[in-house]
Structure 1
């Protein structure tokens, strides 16, 4: 009789762990698919020499993000996730072309930024999964940091302040790393049950981390 409540508790914990693992697995599978699709669209943009999107990037991003949020619990959510990540891939193409065209070591900078982003993601994700630490305390800081970096980025863009833009890249780099830890930890600890929104968070973190590294590495080369 004494083991009955213990068995119930053990079954509950096991069920929660299985659910968390399922969400984590689905998130990584969808993230891999969206990254591949985004890379394909970036390649298309580069091949067609599509011009830089400018502020259209923000309009498209927030519009598609709104669509994902509204359909996150239906099959339509998957369609909008690929629309969002495909669009972000298109916006990346002109940026990569600019690095290849105007910087003598542009290809090296791109590969370094890509490799650093991949290693950082794998390391941060592995740490969050293995340690199972609770990073929920970072939530408020990440929200404030993201909003602050976004607002400062607009100031740097409209007033053409390159030094401020470097600070913005540094802020986004830190926020992106924090979001990877935060989101992965939330999934592992059972706080996230929607793999569509989890995928979007991780994708945007990787996108911003990659762009920030491109900017910082280019500046480090005095270009």
Structure 2
């Protein structure tokens, strides 16, 4: 009986009311929507300046990983104050800048703008499906987190290797796997908020932003490979 209660959800164990949990989720969604603004701005600056052209290969990887982990460390340190929002938005600008290399490559195709909108719509669709599932699934998904984390680590290692190998097949395989893993992460992260396992909306926004960023980037890479046109 006790096992079944645990499997049906962990909200009661966290001692949070439904109103408190939904307040965290609402604030998370608002901040997530706001975070898209500096992301778009960062991508625009990156495309306009061509800054990512000078950060190819291993150098680009080092800048990306170093910058991303530094920002995430700063967000964790400031998440309980108003500064956390500012640091998070600065991070999303940085991520947009890092994405500009792929954006610029796709925009160089005759149907590039259409591909970007398709990737955005696809990401939004995945998010809607995962959010809907999280609201109806009663089972506790806490145990899923460790498997997804391992999967994400494998992806990072694979992506790092492929930076030097430059294999199109590798890009395709990594992108497909990333879409699956980070779609599942969306479900897991939203469910954590709904169950009361995540009570800080800045941390929740960071997690969901990274999920969406990776799904969008992977979708765009696949669309560029399979649907890109230079006519």
**Greater relative contact order, per chain length (Cα 8 Å cut-off, separation 6+):** 2
Residue aligned with 2:52, SS:
coil
Residue aligned with 1:73, SS:
coil
Point out the structure with max Rg over C-alpha. Answer: 1
Question: Does the 8 Å CA contact 2:43/2:99 hold for their aligned counterparts?
Answer: yes
1:157-196 alignment to 2 at 5 Å? 157-196=163-202
2:30 maps to 29
User: How large is the RMSD of aligned CA atoms in angstroms?
Assistant: 2.2
Q: What is the distance in 2 between the residues matched to 1:122 and 1:46?
A: 29
1:78-157 alignment to 2 at 5 Å? 78-101=85-108, 103-157=109-163
Q: What is the distance in 2 between the residues matched to 1:31 and 1:95?
A: 22
Question: Does the 8 Å CA contact 2:106/2:228 hold for their aligned counterparts?
Answer: no
2:40 maps to 39
Structure 1 unaligned residues grouped into runs of 5+: 1-11
Count of aligned positions: 212
1:130-173 per-position Cα deviation (integer Å, ceiling 9, x unaligned): 43443223111100100000001111111222212221111211
1:57 maps to 64
Question: Does the 8 Å CA contact 1:45/1:90 hold for their aligned counterparts?
Answer: yes
Structure 2 unaligned residues grouped into runs of 5+: 1-12
TM-score scaled by length of structure 2 = 0.84
1:8 maps to none
